[in-house]
Structure 1
């Protein structure tokens, strides 16, 4: 069948919905790189030239990409690497090592990962090195070409760069910057971080070996651009098999974006985070509600998805507590009100709970002290309360000072939604004095 006939063909609605969900999930989850990064052209050019000098001319460099989460640091680096690797010479020679401060939590783990990514496990074998610097020098020496005259250029990407500054003596950073400065081997060190004060974290000897190049990214996105991005992300391209369905879908997306209630929801998301990943999560939740009976995204879907995104997880956790645990939380709330947020202990909470029992004279809420202790410990495990200091052997558990990690509004909101909450407990929570 010709392409023209395929486009003119009308597929069953169920099949169209399946294809829409496949296409949009691929787009929203994989976050495809743009052909040209918008708004960061100067930064793109600067970083590309810097890495090209390492990859082609063997010049060592170091640079930090600094910006808030969602500003496009990783996207910028990926776009630069994609453009850089289009050159055949670079594609053959450039080696890449990607480290993350959340994963490589100390220098030993980082060195092991560097060895693995450079495929030098067999070369290192069971060799014993006197220091980290010796091990690093051996790895870079092993990368030299057969004529021993030149090394392959290596790009080190350090994501969550500020976390590497917390490693003991900053040995990894010192050695990487030292190699890049002393021209022992052609390497480029690119750090990605959210912290503007990252240089203050570096030791003097590390700082002196860093080039002090920084590329700053700040989101200049406006709300109309954000709305347009939502429309583009949800729209189908012209190559969709059923042309008629694609036109109807795209028309419904345009109508959706112009809806006042939808604009208000998106404005709230835009104000809280300009990160495209959070927007993609919102749109993914909307997409899950599309079905054969409802083959388009409606404003109500976006409102529900927004409610889920902004759901208060701690308030939701209260819905799963037992009546006893809920009573202890209310007792803590009253203690917070009376003592203006000062820490409390289990004994104080128990006394507050007993006052409530004496007023109600209700045997239904009588619990043995060990049961109350267990409920109190469960609240600590859920991180609804936390100790003021670390656990001390000298302090009995009943007298260890705690703080409540919930505020008044979260507790009251959870009580309204708590399934079949007894009336007297609700009244106790709402009373000004216990």
Structure 2
């Protein structure tokens, strides 16, 4: 294979120890596609950090079901983004690498957001176990009878049956099904010696046990696996480098080693470390870390062949954008004046609610003292005020919802912090200087 050395400057040669193949564009497209799949899809299992003990316990539990036919039930609990689904995928990937286990263990994956009642869940179980032909047009008397028929249909000529793993994502939503029939039957079968099954519930609700009926609780093993996002910063930093590294399955291995070295160096760059620390202090959620990487990965191309510290700084700036402050960039000058009037009223009355009449008087005092300001009539100002309510920048107080209260005298509260107003004014396009000075005053004009 020929090496393309054209378009390479002295600086590029110093940074890149290896020259790239002729089809540079295709290679960078491959890198970008590979990293996008790691960041945006569940097809690849991310390397586990900080959950080694939990992973080992879950691995042994499912393995005993797959190899020894031991029935189990367990709940995996943790906040959103703590790595519950990633942990399960990692365990199942390692288990199914064993051909005997892969052929012996059946898997059924249900989600409380999709299987909204027991009938829908039963149809999905039938589909995933490929038993549509066995059920046919048969009519069953109850849910338990139908489920038992499905499990019996899996049995071979002998009395043995393949172990089944039931993974119930959003487990708490199944607890809201009528009579909790699905949960009752699954836990009941897991206690019997007829069919080896493992019921694995996944939820972010720590109080999910309290949602279960007494008869369901009595059949649940009460095993719970709690996941906590307690990664030390050093491991958080390693996770950053791990996600952006190219694995052994990357098609162009001649570039993988060089790329991974550059990622390791990037993870120790002072600017990148500063960005990671800022994100780490706000949230240790792995998803947030992945969101930080999406923008820099999207920039990769032939003209931008390496991830750079500036890309992550820009990505952090976009992630930390204040949505309320950004909304203020689109309001009119009149609406902006009303927001500032409300800000001053909050300062004067220490956050107490206000009404439109108070805001209008505050606005009038400012507009009449500024010869360059156009003074709008009251109906026009009221329309602008109602638009701010529609944008949810201002909210009516609950006690003022009565039909007898005129809209001009309804009590309101401002949903924007004063610091957000000042931040928005700095970036407001062509904002008059006198408005900026008015907003910066400690007290009303």
> Same-fold call, TM > 0.5?
yes
> Is the alpha carbon distance of 1:169 and 1:234 closer, same or farther for their aligned partners in structure 2, counting shifts above 3 Å?
same
Unaligned runs of 5+ in 2: 3-17
Select which of 257, 269, 275 maps to 1:259.
269
Shift of 1:387: 4.2
Residue pair 2:69, 2:196 contacting (<8 A) in 1 also: yes
- Pairing of 1:280-319 with structure 2 (within 5 A): 280-319=290-329
Distance 2:258 2:109 in 1: 44
Residue pair 1:143, 1:152 contacting (<8 A) in 2 also: no
Distance 1:305 1:158 in 2: 35
The superposition leaves residues 345-385 of structure 1 with CA deviations (integer Å, 9 ceiling, x where unpaired) of: 4454444434434444667351553x555544443443333
Residue pair 1:120, 1:139 contacting (<8 A) in 2 also: no
> Is the alpha carbon distance of 1:288 and 1:353 closer, same or farther for their aligned partners in structure 2, counting shifts above 3 Å?
same
Partner of 1:338: 348
Select which of 93, 107, 123 maps to 1:96.
107
Select which of 204, 216, 225 maps to 1:215.
225
Partner of 2:33: 22
Select which of 158, 169, 192 maps to 2:202.
192
Residue pair 1:99, 1:110 contacting (<8 A) in 2 also: yes
> Is the alpha carbon distance of 1:155 and 1:258 closer, same or farther for their aligned partners in structure 2, counting shifts above 3 Å?
closer
Distance 1:175 1:380 in 2: 50
Distance 1:86 1:292 in 2: 37
Shift of 1:415: 1.1
Distance 2:138 2:391 in 1: 45
SS for the counterpart of 2:231 is: coil
**Residue 71 (1) aligns with residue 71 (2):** no
**Residue 33 (1) aligns with residue 41 (2):** no
Partner of 2:7: none
Select which of 393, 401, 414 maps to 2:424.
414
> Is the alpha carbon distance of 1:395 and 1:65 closer, same or farther for their aligned partners in structure 2, counting shifts above 3 Å?
farther
SS for the counterpart of 2:343 is: helix
Distance 2:176 2:81 in 1: 23
**Residue 230 (1) aligns with residue 240 (2):** yes
Residue pair 2:122, 2:147 contacting (<8 A) in 1 also: no
- Pairing of 1:126-145 with structure 2 (within 5 A): 134-145=142-153
The superposition leaves residues 292-350 of structure 1 with CA deviations (integer Å, 9 ceiling, x where unpaired) of: 44432222222111111222222112212222332332233223223323334445444
Distance 2:362 2:220 in 1: 59
Shift of 1:179: 4.4
**Residue 382 (1) aligns with residue 394 (2):** no
Shift of 1:412: 1.0
Distance 2:123 2:347 in 1: 53
TM-score (norm 1): 0.79
Shift of 1:409: 1.1
Shift of 1:214: 0.8
Distance 1:184 1:392 in 2: 61
